[in-house]
Amino acid sequence: MKYAIISDIHGNYEALESVLMEIDRHGVDSILCLGDVVGYGPNPNECVALIRERAEVTLAGNHDHAPLGRMDISYFNPWARSAIEWTRKELTQSSIDFLLELPLKIDRDDFTIVHSTPLEPADWNYIITIGDAVKNFPEFSTRVCFIGHSHVPMAISLNEGDDCRVLKENPIVISEDLRYIINVGSVGQPRDLNPLSSFAFYDTSDKKYELVRVEYDIAKTQRKIRQSKLPDFLAERLELGQ
């Protein structure tokens, strides 16, 4: 099976369209979305509609739960909070119905997908460090766990001697001797100082994982953010990739 794994779209329709074009050019059997379809960006309903049509599986992210009143939003920073309030007013009943049904964690083939962590998928903690990874490897039984949430692409392997290593190569050939936690980055709001949309392909037949970056019309999304009266910082950060 050839999969495209996408995450953290955040209502950025231009980025989503561009990523889907690249996915179609490549050709896959299935598109999996790891959540945060909405929040921050100016097109939450349009992104929900497109994801609903194109993704075989969509998981829930914290920004999908927040506008539904499913979590305390006081822990979000002021820009995120104001975008959540904006998104709450904007969401149609059809989008709300879709977001309400999203699962938190799923196993497919030789991998697990979850938005935040396999350990506590609804607590929205992050896996950033080796220490975070060490806590999470025992919490899934497959070979690879694909995650999103931090908006920073990352791959960590674990060997049979319990040693973890950050992997810098791309593509990665998934080894029978290792287990992996891999963050596919963000489609709609990358934060690794690279403004290009991030997502990944994973082919279970040749075990090849590849992180891909694509351009999209950032200026157009920025214009929409400003017209929508969302916080200006949400427009600025897109071109900075942070």
Burial profile 5-40: b = 16 or more Cβ within 10 angstroms, e = fewer: bbbbbbbbbbbbbbbbebbeeeebeebbbbbbbbbb
**Residue from 3, 5, 8, 230 that binds Zn ion (CB under 5 A)?**
8
Task: Choose the binding region for Zn ion from 4-12, 50-58, 106-114, 231-239 (rule: CB under 5 A).
Answer: 4-12
For residues 144 and 111, is the Cβ–Cβ distance under 8 A?
yes
Task: Choose the binding region for Zn ion from 3-11, 47-55, 101-109, 157-165 (rule: CB under 5 A).
Answer: 3-11
Burial of 229 (0-12, 13-18, 19+ CB in 10 A): exposed
Tokens 């490549």 belong to residue: 26
At closest approach, how far in Å is the CB of 40 from Zn ion?
8
Q: State which residue, 132 or 203, has the beta carbon closest to Zn ion.
A: 132
192 contacts Zn ion (rule: CB under 5 A): no
Query: Which residue is at the shortest CB distance from Zn ion?
Result: 36
Distance CA 118, CA 221 (A): 32
**Residue from 36, 41, 45, 188 that binds Zn ion (CB under 5 A)?**
36
Q: How far is CA 226 from the centre of its chain?
A: 24
Task: Choose the binding region for Zn ion from 7-15, 45-53, 206-214, 232-240 (rule: CB under 5 A).
Answer: 7-15
Distance CA 130, CA 175 (A): 19
Q: State which residue, 33 or 144, has the beta carbon closest to Zn ion.
A: 33
Q: Cα torsion for 184, 99, 88, 148, to the nearest 10°?
A: -10
Task: Choose the binding region for Zn ion from 5-13, 103-111, 169-177, 195-203 (rule: CB under 5 A).
Answer: 5-13
At closest approach, how far in Å is the CB of 200 from Zn ion?
16
Positions in the binding site for Zn ion (CB under 5 A): 8, 36
